[in-house]
Structure 1
Amino acid sequence: MAKKNEIGIIGLGKFGFSLGSALTNLGHDVVGVDLDPEHIRRAQDKLSHVYQADATDEKALEQVGIKELDRVVVSTGESMEASILCVLNLQALGVEKIWVKAISEEHERVLYKIGVPYVVFPEAFVAFQLAHRLATPGIQDYFGMGQDVVTREVLIGKWAGKTLRDLNLTNEYHVQVVAYRKSGEAQFSFVPEANRPFEEGDVMVLIGKTSDVMKIDKF
């Protein structure tokens, strides 16, 4: 079983609420933050803790203890300005593991430029998956295959300067690295070279069984 985490979700609209509900069902503690009282009422019986607060106010985020959480997801609706301001507040508070829902390609590029390690573009991701399934019957993504196979993005820190050959992940953890993204860039490259050294801030994508992938906790 995966480690239980405390995860913050800023913005409890359709995506944020659905994500929070799914994480709760997986056994994690979820702290929701939103300014809309209707969103608060809907989420208060589902999430562990819910706070009505303005995420563009750094002091408000500090008061709800957002910096104490393991991870924080920003899903602030259609306002690119509010999303970016929220991210800057989280960074100022020392939050490192930040996921942000992007609303456009421009938004995505800005988020990477200001140092957000994980950017989610749900509409583009779903469209990509569906297009491939429609165009090539029989191809499925790794999620939901019924074989306990997952992919995981990891942000390079202690592994900076090391190569895939040095890390020896296949033999040590029984996982494979299928893609990587250089720090500050939006696009992934696939099948990294065994002798290519990773840099701090790079992101690699691992694939393997859930139990094997989750054993890796220092990277």
Structure 2
Amino acid sequence: MKIIIFGLGNFGMSLALSLTETGNEVVGIDKNMDKVNIVKDKIAHSICLDSTNELAYQALPIKQTDIAVVAIGENEGAAIITTAIIKKLTTGKVISRSLSPIHDTVLQAMGITSIVHPEQEAALKLTNKINLKNIVDSFKIDEKYSISEIKTPAEFVGKSILDLEIRSRYKLNIVTILRKKEKTNLIGNTTVIKEVIGIPSAETVIQDNDILVVFGSDDDISKICDKN
């Protein structure tokens, strides 16, 4: 996809690099030339301009972009003005970072439905990791349900999903399994990566050090984490 990111602070820059690594064509925008120079060789295009100046958008492929992300995190006014200009100029999806409850209200009034709160979301994920010691990572679906990566309980090792009766006993669905695998690069160095095994079957046997990706209620995920 073609994605334009406005604001190359910590969040915007990390997002630009991550999206590039996953095969997207990313254009990074910031009014600070130093930030633009940091990513100029790492993403498709990086441009120094003031995103609050509507005339400056003539130099951007704004109408051809699939997604525009407003990642500005230092100036709420600039973030709101930038979002308003983008909303006016493109029919593509607009994702905007919010810095406050009032900012949320303004974005919603503009018709922005994709609003992100990086700091709050990062804090929530860290809270989950701290509270549930055996959770590796977690994605909230709503207030009650999550998709979580959990460490395999010792008593699961060597047993199949059918034997464990995960769904009936624990009220969870195993979406997939992450399994450690050694990988050797071109210069001969060996690293350990987590490989997705695909959709597990009832006969899939759980191995030591597997990471189970499960879907279920937060309460039920918490119960299985307590088994470690």
1:92 deviates by 1.3
Deviations 1:3-38 (A, max 9, x none): xx1111011111111110001111111011111110
Counterpart selection for 1:97 from 89, 93, 112: 93
Further displaced range: 117-126 or 96-105: 96-105
Q: Which has the higher strand share?
A: 2
Which of 124, 149, 153 is residue 120 of structure 2 equivalent to? 124
How far apart, in 2, do the equivalents of 1:24 and 1:17 lie? 11
Once the two structures are TM-superposed, the CA of residue 109 in structure 1 deviates from its matched residue by 2.5
Gapped runs of 5+ residues in structure 2?
A: 140-146, 150-174, 179-215, 217-228
CA–CA distance in structure 2, aligned partners of residues 7 and 70 of structure 1: 6
Larger Rg: 2
CA RMSD of superposed structures (Å):
2.3
Question: Which of 53, 56, 69 is 1:57 aligned to?
Answer: 53
Deviation at 1:76, TM superposition (A): 1.6
CA distance in 2 between counterparts of 1:128 and 1:77 reads: 19
State how far apart, in whole Å, the 1-side matches of 2:115 and 2:95 are: 6
Structure 1, unmatched stretches of 5+, are 150-177, 179-219
2:74 equivalent to 1:78? yes
Q: Is the 8 A contact 1:7 1:72 kept in 2?
A: yes
Instruction: Check if 1:6 corresponds to 2:2.
Output: yes
**Structure 2 SS opposite 1:103:** coil
Query: What is the aligned counterpart of 2:138 among 134, 138, 141?
Result: 141
Aligned length: 146
Structure 1 residue 131 displacement after superposition: 1.8
The runs of at least 4 consecutive aligned structure 1 residues that moved more than 4 Å come to none
SS at match of 2:51: coil
Question: Aligned match of 1:69 in 65, 75, 86?
Answer: 65
Out of 1, 11, 15, the residue aligned to residue 11 of structure 2 is: 15
Q: Which residue of 2 aligns with 1:43?
A: 39
